[in-house]
Amino acid sequence: MDMRITGLKGSLLAGVLAVASFAWSPAVSADEVHVAFGDIATVESLNFLIAFERAKERGVDVKVTFFKSEDVAAQAVVGGEADIGVGTPYALIQKVKAPIRLFYQMSALRFFPNVNTEFYKSWKDLDGQEIAVHARGSGTEAIMKLMAQKNGITYSNISYVPGAEVRAGALLQGNVKASIVDSTNKKMVEEKAPGKFAVLPMEGVNATDEALYANTEFLTAQAEDVQIIVEELLKTWREINANPAVVGDLRKKYNLLPDLPAELEPEVTAYYEESVPTGAFPNNGGSEQAAKDDFEFYALAGQIEGDPATLKVEDFWTFEPLNKALAKVGTQ
């Protein structure tokens, strides 16, 4: 999934400023926990939907609402229509001073720099060369810029080619010689042109893709519910990391994505079997170091302002719910 990072978008800023007050009030009912997700339910969201179902079994009345974008979902959290959001609202916290904090790292960014080995075999070979990424301000651009910085190289030009599948096609057709794609299209390129392309290493890129965040007053007022949710996330993530195929069984158990066509059911297992080996789903829900890695990455992406080394973790994250859950279920 390509991720566009554009800082605080105008629509979100306008929506947030339209909220008269940042004072939190329970979303609909204090007995319910409303989660705002800025996308449709897909195979990629099954892991946290399963964890939420398990939290329900423990008495937490979790209700998920699917919004058309992360911006709208974030606005719902800030406006009190939802309790928990899914995303990485660093700009919202820093620029608008919204009283929200991230509290659980659900997934890490996993993209794969792909090069045609007829021309390039290492990062150094890309010095003075052209690359293709998703869009200006995107996660793919930030990754490639960060790796250039780490390897002491400069690209001659960065072309913007939206869609990982489009960039993969351009690689196969020879229109692009160096780009970055997601795991699905990495696999497709390997299958269609075995040995022709190589994935360059990305040591030190550990930015968050998706995290849970909430209003600070909600985190205090419903701390017990939040801890249960975090415990179930931790247990579910570990179960999936140990056996990715279990997602298919759990999907059926909880009747999730009931309209998924039978011919697409194999994609459930395939997605998690491809993602788990990349370390996409952290076993321990994040850490202060993960937050600092985010600062470096998102500053480069233009979503956070200032020197990453001077940013304070506590201004963006709270680890109290996670630490309490880890004390109960243990670390791995």
Report whether 43 contacts 271 (CB < 8 A): yes
* Nearest residue to 221 (alpha-carbon basis) of 14, 21, 26, 15: 26
Phi, psi of 107 (to 5 degrees): -150, 155
Helix 223-242, helix 246-253: angle, nearest 10: 130
Strand ranges across the sheet with 84-87: 61-66, 32-37, 84-87, 208-215, 100-108
CATH class for domain 10-109+207-329? alpha beta
Q: 10-109+207-329 and 112-199 share one CATH topology? A: yes
Q: Which two tokens stand for residue 328?
A: 């109960």
Q: What is the dihedral of CA 154, 157, 160, 165, to 10 degrees?
A: -70
Question: Residue 226 in 3-state DSSP?
Answer: helix
CA distance 286 to 180: 25
User: What does the pLDDT look like over 82-130, one tens digit per residue?
Assistant: 999 998 899 889 988 888 999 999 999 889 999 999 999 999 999 999 9
pLDDT tens digits, the chain, 332 residues: what are they? 554 444 444 445 445 544 434 555 555 556 799 999 988 888 989 999 999 999 999 999 999 999 988 888 999 999 999 999 998 899 889 988 888 999 999 999 889 999 999 999 999 999 999 999 988 777 788 889 989 988 999 999 999 998 888 999 999 999 999 999 988 889 899 999 999 999 999 877 778 989 999 999 999 999 999 999 999 999 999 999 999 999 999 999 999 999 999 898 998 998 899 899 988 999 999 999 999 999 988 888 778 999 999 999 999 999 999 999 999 999 99
User: What does the pLDDT look like over 182-195, one tens digit per residue?
Assistant: 888 898 999 999 99
What DSSP string runs through 115-171?
EETTT-SSSGGGTT-EEEESSTTBHHHHHHHHHHHHHT---SEEEE---HHHHHHHH
Provide the residue ranges of all domains of the chain, joining segments of one domain with +.
10-109+207-329, 112-199
Element (H, E) at 86: strand 84-87
Report whether 8 contacts 71 (CB < 8 A): no
Report whether 202 contacts 216 (CB < 8 A): no
Q: How many CB atoms lie within 10 A of CB 299?
A: 19
Report whether 278 contacts 241 (CB < 8 A): no
* Nearest residue to 294 (alpha-carbon basis) of 100, 97, 142, 132: 142
The predicted model scores a pTM of 0.82
* Nearest residue to 250 (alpha-carbon basis) of 237, 263, 261: 237
CATH class for domain 112-199? alpha beta
Rounded (5°) CA angle 98-101-106: 135
Q: Which two tokens stand for residue 75?
A: 């606005």
Taken as a whole, the chain contains a residue count of: 332
CA distance 66 to 64: 7
